[in-house]
Structure 1
């Protein structure tokens, strides 16, 4: 089989942007290539046109183009024409695209289209209970209607997307994101900085960052030495119009607590792993995810995690065993779970060990890649 992926992001030095979607795609395509599946990745919205091979994968960079009129349409048609040329010349058997912005809305591709529900604007607006532009929903709905099949990283994300887009006659296959576990090794889980609480993710309202000041205040009543480190890019705040969510968040901490807060912004990924290993525990009080890559990455590095109770998280963590699940707005309970871990090193180590086992059982990229291969065989009729 030859499977192709269309994406706005991919972890590579020549690519303008990479985040959770890009990481999940790279983990998968590298594993597929190792299993002798021919893979091409098409990254749009780039600063250059280029084609090169790496890790057994052909990567196409597609330069962003400006249009004077109806750019949203002509941009998609330009992509369509380029992709169709490659489908015919490279004999691509199926194309996968993300749901975000409905990038395939006006495309007629010459290969079966699969949409993976990484998280559409429709999905996130629903979870955040905020208004969505009609145009955005239209694009995403059109894209969904053109797809032959669907994948979602959690059953929860698939079920919500199915309801929002009115998908009645097709099954949404759940296939989790996966990790290359050899890249997530913590040989000394008993070595960590006591009291260090780590948050990793964009500084944005939907990820629950505005719950952290009240949670930290309650934690520090019993553990004054506790400190919070935040890693991730700043973003504008939709609700207030502020260009910086971090500036808003900074003002929410008590003066004394703020002295125990460190914001590192974005840092190189290898340093992120170092901070995960250094932390005593990780917190992800998010209101809106489809899965949450950094959660399973932290679990793979044997860190106890305090996550949210909302749908998708229940598929990642067994509450009280491989992590804790607490609603982000239940500040007292959230703080108490953190306090329980800060007080008990053995609990941290046991929960961290269980978290690693959970990732090995459910999110190992070797198993995930094979699930994807079986799915694509069913779509293409090839093996």
Structure 2
């Protein structure tokens, strides 16, 4: 079996910036290769064309093309022709794409096309209650309706997407997976009262709720520290650096106990995770967040949001706590409880890693994917 992933991002030094989508594809690609499935990555919107093989995966980087008119159409057709030629030459069986901005709209692919619902622009705009560009919705709707099969990373994302686009299609739920051998506790003691947020500094991740939450925590626990790591993003509402907005909302005592690390490599992320007492991830808009799985796999107690997908990942009161990020007092109280009850927090942390092992480890998730791919290729065998 040979699977090709069409994606705008992938965590590799040869590629442009990548986020959770790229990480989830990387985890799946590596686990498929370990199970003797051939994998190709077609990564578009890149700075230049480049082909290479690494770790048993074939990479095809596709440069973003410029057109005088209709680039949104002609670039898709360019990718379509590349994919059809590549699938014939390399005997690719299935092409999988993400739902984001409907890249496969207007494409006529000669082999089965799967779209995995990681969260479309329409989906995130609906969750954030913000206006969407009509062309993005049009592209995404056309792509989803033309797909042969749909996979969703969570039931919430699948149901929301079907409702938003009025789709008359079923979807199959396969969550994102994580390598629990790569993300594991190091055995060192965490720094008491150290909180950690990692991910893009963007409004939809709930980062702008954290200053008020941390202000409350500092008033109760003056030695608490908040460390933040991730790419700063210009805020969509105030057209300012999100980091600048974040700092402006911190009281002086809280500002003195806050540290921003910027974008840091994964090994450094794991080091800070390992040294932190509680991980705080108050996101408003996700499909099935990789950051949550990574923190859980590192055996850390979390306080997350309680929205939609949350109950498919977290078990409130078991793997940590889920809470409304806008209820700053209640959210702060959950964090303080974990800081004050270290034994119970440690039990929750163990429960978090065990949940990832059973439900989200690549060993579990890859079997679900292979079974689904086989059902696409041999529909009469099930």
The verdict on a shared fold, with TM-score over 0.5 as the criterion, is yes
Distance 2:105 2:35 in 1: 31
Taking the aligned partners of 2:234 and 2:81, their CA distance within structure 1 comes to 34
Helix, strand or coil at the partner of 1:270: helix
Q: 2:278 aligns with which of 277, 281, 284?
A: 281
- For residues 332 and 32 of structure 1, what CA distance do their matches in structure 2 show? 44
Counterpart mapping for 1:176-325 below 5 A:
176-188=175-187, 191-242=189-240, 244-325=241-322
1:326 aligned to which of 304, 323, 328: 323
Q: Give unpaired runs (5+ residues) of structure 2.
A: none
1:150 is matched with which residue? 150
- Quick check: 147-156 or 247-256, which moved more? 247-256
The match for 1:99 is 99
Give the match's secondary structure for 1:241.
coil
1:364 aligned onto 2:335 = no
Write the distance in 2 (CA, Å) between the matches of 1:373 and 1:166: 28
Taking the aligned partners of 1:274 and 1:241, their CA distance within structure 2 comes to 33
Cα distance in 2 between the residues matched to 1:287 and 1:36: 38
Query: For each residue in 1:313-368, what CA deviation from the matched residue of structure 2 results, as whole angstroms up to 9, or x when unmatched?
Result: 11011110111110111111111110011112112211111111010010110110
**Deviation, structure 1 residue 32:** 0.5
Q: Deviations over 1:259-299 (max 9, x none)?
A: 11111110111100000001001001110000110111001
Match of 1:355 in 2: 352
CA–CA distance in structure 2, aligned partners of residues 197 and 107 of structure 1: 46
8 Å CA contact 2:218, 2:253 repeated in 1: no
Distance 1:365 1:253 in 2: 39
Q: 1:341 aligns with which of 315, 338, 356?
A: 338
Which whole-Å CA distance do the structure 2 matches of 1:294 and 1:134 have between them? 30
Equivalent position of 2:52 in the other structure: 52
3-state SS of the aligned residue for 1:69? coil
List per-residue Cα deviations over 1:176-228 (Å, max 9, x = no partner): 11111111121315x01111100011101111111111111111121111111
Asked if 1 retains the 8 angstrom alpha-carbon contact of 2:196 and 2:278, the reply is yes
In 1: Cα distance, 2:211 partner to 2:89 partner = 55
Q: How far is 1:241 from its partner?
A: 2.1
Residue of structure 1 in register with 2:39 after alignment: 39
Deviation at 1:57, TM superposition (A): 1.1
CA RMSD of aligned residues (A): 1.1
In 1: Cα distance, 2:106 partner to 2:227 partner:
43
Corresponding residue of 2:77: 77
Q: Within 2, Cα distance between the matches of 1:310 and 1:2?
A: 36
In the alignment of these two chains, the number of paired residues is 380
Q: In the TM superposition, what whole-angstrom CA distance separates every residue of 1:91-122 from its partner, at most 9, and x where no partner exists?
A: 21111001111101111111111111111100
- Structure 1: how far apart are the matches of 2:230 and 2:99? 23
Counterpart-to-counterpart distance in 2, 1:313 and 1:138: 28
The Cα offsets for residues 54-107 of structure 1, whole Å up to 9 and x where unpaired, read as: 121111111111111111111111111111100111121111001111101111
1:15 corresponds to 2:15 = yes
The question of whether the paired residues in 1 share the 8 Å contact of 2:320 and 2:345 is answered with no
Deviations 1:114-155 (A, max 9, x none): 111111100000000001111110011111111011111111
Shift of 1:31: 0.5
SS of the residue 1:181 aligns to? coil
For the residues of structure 2 that align with 1:151 and 1:15, how far apart are their CA atoms?
A: 25
**Consecutive aligned runs of 4 or more in structure 1 exceeding 3 Å deviation:** none
Secondary structure of 1:183 counterpart? coil
Once residues 111 and 235 of structure 1 are traced to their aligned partners in structure 2, the CA distance between those partners, rounded to angstroms, is: 38
Say which SS state the counterpart of residue 11 (structure 1) adopts: coil
